[in-house]
Amino acid sequence: MAVKYSVQASSQDAAFLSALAAHWKLSATAVASKDDEPSVNGAIGLAAVAIALLEASPAALAAGWLGASAADRATVLNWTLFAVNQVRAAEQNAALRTALFVDLNAALRERTYIATSSISLADVLLHFTLWPLVSALDHVGYRQVPHLTRWFDNVQRTLNVRPILALQLNQFYIAQSLPVLRLPRVQAVAPTATPTPAAAASSSRQAK
C-alpha cells in the first residue's frame, strides 16, 4: 500500500521518514510542505507519519515494530508520542531536560527496550529525538544516567536500526563502517513489566 505524506523537504524529520520508508521497502511519497509538522491523512506530527508508514508495511508489523499484541501496541504508541512531544519540549529547557533524563533512566533501569521485549518504533523514534540531547552529554553526564546511555548504545548497535540512523545522522555515521557513540557498556537486562511514560515519571519523582 502506498503512503503519501507531507513534510518540510529539508528537515531532519523528512530524512528520518525517508530512511524509515526505505528500510521497510515502502512505496511512500513525500510531498513538500511549509508546515512545521509532518502530516498524513489529516493526522499531524512526526509520530503519526511514522506510525502510518509502519502500518503499511507487513514486514514491520510482523517484526513487532508496532507491538505484537494490543497491549504492546498501546505501549508503543504511548512511548512514540512521548518521544516527540516530551523530548522536543525539553530541547530548549534545561529543567525539563534534566527531569526527562531522570525519568527515562528510571524507566530503563530493568529494561532492554523502552516499550516491549524487542526493538520497536518507540525505541527508534526516541533515539532519533534524543540524539541532540544525549550526544551533548559529557562523561559525567553519561555516568549519571547509566540505564539511559546503555539503552541508547544498544539501539544504535542494532543491525536493523543502523541504516535508519545512518541515513538520518550522516554527519556522525559513515555508510559502510557505521561507527557509533562509545557509551558505557552495561549488560542487557531481562524484560520486566513495561512502564508507561507517566508511571516512569511518577516513579522517578518518588525516588528523589
CATH number of 67-207: 1.20.1050.10
HSE, side-chain direction, 13 A CA sphere, residue 26: 29
Stretch 150-176: mean pLDDT? 68
> Does residue 191 have a pLDDT over 90?
no
Return d(Cα 59, Cα 79) in angstroms, integer: 21
Mean pLDDT, rounded, for 160-186: 51
Q: Is there a contact between 128 and 80 (Cβ–Cβ < 8 Å)?
A: no
Residue 12, SS3 per DSSP: helix
Mean pLDDT over each residue of the chain, to the nearest integer: 84
The pLDDT value recorded for residue 181 is 41
Helix or strand or coil: residue 101? helix
Phi, psi of 7 (to 5 degrees): -165, 150
Whether the predicted pLDDT of 149 surpasses 90: yes
Which residues of the chain are in CATH 1.20.1050.10 domains? 67-207
pLDDT at 172: 46
What average pLDDT does range 122-144 have in this prediction?
91
List pLDDT tens digits, range 106-128: 999 999 999 999 999 999 999 99
Phi-psi region of 43 (alpha: psi -120 to 50; beta: other; left: phi over 0): beta
Pairing mode of beta strands 28-32, 39-40: unpaired
Average pLDDT of the residues in 145-152? 95
Output the pLDDT for position 135: 85
0.75 exceeded by the pTM? yes
DSSP 179: -
Rounded to the nearest 10°, the torsion over CA 135, 180, 64, 60 is: 100
Q: How many CA atoms lie within 13 A of 207 on its CB side?
A: 13
Q: What is the pLDDT of residue 9?
A: 83
| Angular region, 113: left φ>0, alpha ψ -120 to 50, beta rest | beta
Which tens digits make up the pLDDT trace of 95-110?
999 999 999 999 999 9
Residue 179: the pLDDT is 39
What are the helix and strand counts (H, E) for the chain?
A: 10, 4
Calculate ∠ Cα 92-74-95, nearest 5°: 20
In the chain, % of residues over pLDDT 70: 79
What is the rounded average pLDDT of the residues 74-85?
96
The one-character DSSP state at 6 is E
Distance CA 158, CA 155 (A): 5
pLDDT per position as a tens digit, 7-45 = 998 788 998 899 999 999 999 999 999 898 999 988 899
Q: How confident is the model at residue 167 (pLDDT cuts 50, 70, 90)?
A: low
Residue 92 is classified by DSSP as T
Strands (DSSP E) contained in the chain are 3-7, 28-32, 39-40, 43-44
